[in-house]
Homo-oligomer: A and B are copies of this chain.
Amino acid sequence: MKNNKEIKKTGNIRALSQHKILIAASTEFVLQGYKGATVQSIADRASLPKANILYYFKNKENIYHAVLEHTLQMWDEGIGDINPEDGPKAAIEKFIEAKVRMSFKHPESSKIYAMEIIQGAQHLKDFARTYQRKWVREKAQLFQQWIDNGEMRDVNPIHLIFLIWSATQHYADFETQILTIMNRADYEDEDVEDVIAFLTDMILRGCGLH
């Protein structure tokens, strides 16, 4: 008696609670790290009793897994797949724009991802080894074709991808530092456009595509 229809009410409260917990957990994991985030602190942030958290997620590691999965989904969406039809200029423009918007919209996702990688990617090794490696190689090959066709300068495509990743994610991961240096409390909408314009300009020129 558990078909998809019946999960309207029951499934609703489940999904709602789980989502609330996920958001709270994300914040805690970013702020305190995996070990530093306690089930109690997640519960407090979600305004639920601790036992209720453990009712929805078997244990703390499960919560973290769910958070990571959520993060990877974000990554997938925000990566702005490169389209061969576009040619190098439009492709790079779209890619940079997608990643910058992503960074400003979901900084926690970027931060959790970054922390996971910095600490050795214990939970993401497989992801990087399979999915991500394939993605990078494919896109690098695409850039190489454009280079061979004389459509853009001869730059190392893999390093180019790394450059775009690092430069865009920086605004999410190092948010605190950047805001402090710029003496601001928060980013403004304008900042997003500024960063897109700056990075697009710099990198297109670097590729001989201005």
| A binding-site residues for B, Cβ under 8 Å | 30-36, 111, 114-115, 117-121, 125, 128-129, 132-133, 136, 155-156, 158-160, 162-163, 165-167, 169-171, 173-174, 176-178, 180-183, 194-195, 198-199, 201-203, 205-208
Known: A119-B30, A198-B159, A206-B205. Is A173-B114 also a contact (CB below 8 A)?
Answer: yes
| Integer count of this chain's copies in the complex | 2
A118-B173, A202-B206 known; 8 new pairs, CB 8 Å cut-off, are: A111-B118, A114-B118, A115-B115, A120-B176, A159-B198, A159-B199, A162-B178, A201-B206
Task: Please name the 3 residue pairs, one residue from A and one from B, whose CB atoms are nearest each other, closest first.
Answer: A35-B36, A166-B170, A33-B33
Measured CA separation A202–B132 after assembly (Å): 24
Q: Please list 22 pairs of residues, one from A and one from B, whose beta carbons are closer than 8 Å in the complex, sorted by A's number.
A: A30-B118, A30-B119, A31-B120, A32-B119, A33-B34, A34-B36, A36-B36, A114-B118, A114-B173, A115-B119, A117-B177, A121-B177, A155-B201, A156-B198, A159-B194, A162-B171, A162-B178, A163-B202, A166-B169, A202-B203, A202-B207, A205-B205
Q: Does B199 contact A163, Cβ atoms closer than 8 Å?
A: yes
Measured CA separation A174–B133 after assembly (Å): 14
Q: Hey, which chain B residues are within 8 Å of A163, CB to CB? A: 167, 170, 198-199, 202
Query: How would you classify the secondary structure of chain A's contact residues: helix, strand, loop or mixed?
Result: helix
Q: Does A183 contact B133, Cβ atoms closer than 8 Å?
A: yes
Q: Hey, which chain B residues are within 8 Å of A34, CB to CB? A: 33, 36
Question: Of B117, B125, B167, which contacts A173 at CB under 8 A?
Answer: B117
Q: Hey, which chain B residues are within 8 Å of A171, CB to CB? A: 162
Q: Hey, which chain B residues are within 8 Å of A30, CB to CB? A: 118-119
Q: Hey, which chain B residues are within 8 Å of A194, CB to CB? A: 156, 159
With both beta carbons as reference points, the residue of chain B lying nearest to A136 in the complex is identified as: B181
Known: A35-B36, A198-B159, A203-B206. Is A181-B132 also a contact (CB below 8 A)?
Answer: yes
